[in-house]
Amino acid sequence: MRMAIGTVAAMVLIASSAALAKPMHKMAHHAAFQLNATSWTFTDKNGDMQESIGPKGDYVTHSGAKHVDHGTAVMKGGKACFTSAMTKDGENCWTTKPTAIGATMATVNDKGDKLDVTRVKYTPPKM
């Protein structure tokens, strides 16, 4: 079963250096949360998981050496939304906030399920 960190799971604040140099009141847009090219760990009812989201939004979840899930991840309305290629559950969206490597974030999906996810050093997803 995939749990998105997002997991998304599940995540990093990206802002260009030019945007950071501008005063906040002059910024037209807030920096968007970026899920791509991140990796996360979490524990769910199936055990300890590691999930990596590639630069194009493809994710793979493993429990140890076992392949648990894979699919696509996108950001929608500030949430990390995951769609498994292995189930017919449809899209599963999780709350997000900027999370540094080594930090843990509490996330909640649209069904009310809660999950603590820890951002770890990025490792490219592998099947």
- 52: which 2 tokens? 């990596």
pLDDT digits (tens, 9 = 90+) for 58-113: 999 999 999 999 999 999 999 999 999 999 999 999 999 999 999 999 999 999 99
Q: How far is CA 50 from CA 23, 57, 119, in A?
A: 38, 16, 10
Range of the structural domain that residue 17 is part of: 5-120
**Could you tell me if residue 84 is inside a domain?**
yes
Max CA distance (Å), the chain: 48
Q: Find, among 87, 103, 82, the residue nearest to 95 by Cα.
A: 82
**Could you tell me if residue 127 is inside a domain?**
no
pTM above 0.85, yes or no: no
DSSP code of residue 24: G
**Could you tell me if residue 92 is inside a domain?**
yes
